[in-house]
Structure 1
Amino acid sequence: MDTTDTMRERFARTVSRLLDDDPRLALVLADIGVDGFRAAARAHPDRVINVGIREQLMVGVGAGLALAGMRPVVHTFASFLVERPFEQVKLDFGHQGAAGVLASAGGSYDWPGGGYTHMAPGDVALLDTLDGWAVHVPGHPDEAEALLRQAAAGDGSVYVRLSAGQSNAAPLPVGGGRLVGVRQGRGGVVVAVGPMLDSALAAVEGLDVTVLYAATVRPFDGPGLRATVGAAGAPDVVLVEPYLAGTSTAAVNDALADLPHRVLGLGVARRELRRYGTVEEHLAGQGLAPASLRARVTSFLGGGRPADVVS
């Protein structure tokens, strides 16, 4: 597979192919992303729908297509897909029992120059208030393609959170919804979500900790985490998420409810960084660059244990 493209570019190519292959599939846009689907719109003018800058209508049209028996894929920036039309996501999809695929772009701050209107660190937490949504957070374009294909072929409600500004160097196996073991240790468990994996691995280099990878966060793989914590004998868990800090701490606490444990949720803070900057500067400002992550992880885990003491 081509690994030089971004997740958003892979999204356009993948969905265009799926439109050719699956007559049940329909794509709904609100001006953003239209250029990537020019050829698909010419080939399938009845199933590639651009409603203009009307995000609430975009979600409503997607739900209507679902109620008519289609499988809608609805796409724009996360702030315009989840936050602005949240009432339509809640009522048009959820209340009516409709199901489809919401595929976002922009992540938490992929385009800092767009300002706070184009940032959505609270999107996953907001969807957590609704019932039945699966949430995928791929960390690489190959993972994004696999999860998009899975979502398009299914029948449930799925949110696929794509990032153009953050990506891991290599993909991992995804699609089963399970946590993937990346390395083993005895001094704690670090759960890295999506594009935070490479930074998390750099942060814990040389430390005796287990690292798990999550590209699917809802439903959260509680049994997998519980088994890992039990096997490692390490009840301290650090979550590193590319969106609002603490979004998945409740899921971890539920998984370990009858076990003594501690949880540290790292991610994007509620405070607003009011300078545009770059993605890298926002990561540093949120304490999510490797050096900052290492300091926060080792402080929580009591300084960590060097990996070279492992027998």
Structure 2
Amino acid sequence: MDTMRDRFAPVVTHLLDEDPRVAVVVAEIGKVALAEAMRRHPHRVINVGIREQLLVGAAAGLALTGMRPVVHTFASFLVERPFEQVKLDLGHQNAGAVLVSAAASFDWPAGGYTHMAPGDVALLDTLDGWTVQVPGHPDEAETLLRHAVAAGDDKVYVRLSESANRRGHRVDGRGLRTVREGRAGVVVAVGPMLDAVLAATEGLEVTVLYATTVRPFDAAALRRATQAAGTDVVLVEPYLAGTSTGAVSEALVDVPHRILGLGVGRRELRKYGTVEEHVAAHGLDAASLRERIGAFVAVPARA
């Protein structure tokens, strides 16, 4: 199976062909995959070099002239390093753009901590008006990228990951999708965490909701699920643990509830290792998730 990032260049090349407003801005990373797009649209595919602040600033300038910029690099260089430009050049000026990341939380361990960004979604949560998409499969990534570019002049973050679920689901760029129904709690699986959550909850009497759009958070769907399954809620996110607990609390503000936020821990792991070793170290493998989810909701097994 190809990866989410493999889909990026072909999709944006077609979008450049289809829509004269679309422009793509990169900072060296990704330029090889975009060679054909650069050949076909030399004035709308811009490589600013290793200048991440300029990357976002140039995108904001394009947006202010009426263009729809798509900005791409590793998550740590797209959200963390140029955060002031994301905050001011895009946010403060109300300039829309589509930020498309790669490498996610720890997708390239050999790159070291400089190439890891488990806090990217939490950081964007400090700003107003961002839509955040977290696909769990290349098909979903393609759909959500197209949605994001077509979303007028909104500010959208599309978080691509090397990890993926075995199959994609139909996504609409909006709400939560019910994958499994139960009556002893609700587990929200975000993006590429779905397969591990389904394996971890096999035979357990819990409802599993699947989220690929995490901001805005689908409060209405969560409330509906808790009415049938109870108000013990577990969040399993592929980034900083607890990132969406505030959104859940807001959705259930008038209902007594408990929340367990699972995700990437704050403790820095100082060895490169493999992706699988990082997953296990953060307790995000199926066996660890089953133990942690079961202990929290005390769920009976299905008959």
Please report the TM-score for the alignment, with normalisation by the length of structure 1: 0.96
Match of 1:305 among 292, 296, 300: 300
Amino acid at match of 2:302: A
- In the TM superposition, structure 1's runs of 4+ consecutive aligned residues that sit over 2 Å from their partners are none
- The offset of 1:97, in angstroms, is 1.1
What is the distance in 1 between the residues matched to 2:300 and 2:233? 15
Partner of 2:160: 162
Partner of 2:249: 253
Structure 1 residues 176 and 84: CA distance shift in structure 2, 3 A: closer
The yes-or-no answer on 1:263 pairing with 2:263 is no
Partner of 1:18: 15
Partner of 1:27: 24
The yes-or-no answer on 1:189 pairing with 2:208 is no
Amino acid at match of 2:301: P
Amino acid at match of 2:267: R
The yes-or-no answer on 1:214 pairing with 2:214 is no
- The offset of 1:154, in angstroms, is 1.4
Structure 1 residues 176 and 38: CA distance shift in structure 2, 3 A: closer
Secondary structure at 2:34's aligned position in 1? helix
What is the distance in 2 between the residues matched to 1:99 and 1:179? 24
Secondary structure at 1:18's aligned position in 2? helix
The yes-or-no answer on 1:69 pairing with 2:66 is yes
Match of 2:34 among 34, 37, 49: 37
Match of 1:97 among 75, 79, 94: 94
Match of 1:240 among 213, 236, 239: 236
The yes-or-no answer on 1:109 pairing with 2:106 is yes
- The offset of 1:92, in angstroms, is 0.2
CA deviation profile, 1:61-87 (whole Å, cap 9, x unmatched): 000000010000000000000000000
Percentage identity across aligned positions? 69
Partner of 1:293: 289
Partner of 1:118: 115
What is the distance in 2 between the residues matched to 1:254 and 1:136? 20
- The offset of 1:176, in angstroms, is 4.0
Match runs of 1:168-187 below 5 Å: 168-187=165-184
- The offset of 1:94, in angstroms, is 0.6
Partner of 1:147: 144
- The offset of 1:231, in angstroms, is 2.3
User: Number of matched residues?
Assistant: 302
The yes-or-no answer on 1:46 pairing with 2:40 is no
CA deviation profile, 1:126-153 (whole Å, cap 9, x unmatched): 0000000000000000000000001111
Secondary structure at 1:196's aligned position in 2? helix
Amino acid at match of 1:237: V
What is the distance in 1 between the residues matched to 2:256 and 2:94? 39
The yes-or-no answer on 1:284 pairing with 2:286 is no
What is the distance in 1 between the residues matched to 2:70 and 2:27? 12
What is the distance in 2 between the residues matched to 1:148 and 1:77? 16
What is the distance in 1 between the residues matched to 2:110 and 2:173? 36
Amino acid at match of 1:238: V
What is the distance in 2 between the residues matched to 1:219 and 1:170? 24
Amino acid at match of 1:261: H
What is the distance in 1 between the residues matched to 2:119 and 2:150? 27
| Root mean square deviation of aligned Cα | 0.6
What is the distance in 1 between the residues matched to 2:250 and 2:49? 42
What is the distance in 1 between the residues matched to 2:155 and 2:45? 20
Please report the TM-score for the alignment, with normalisation by the length of structure 2: 0.99
- The offset of 1:177, in angstroms, is 1.0
- The offset of 1:13, in angstroms, is 1.1
Structure 1 residues without counterparts, runs of 5 or longer? none
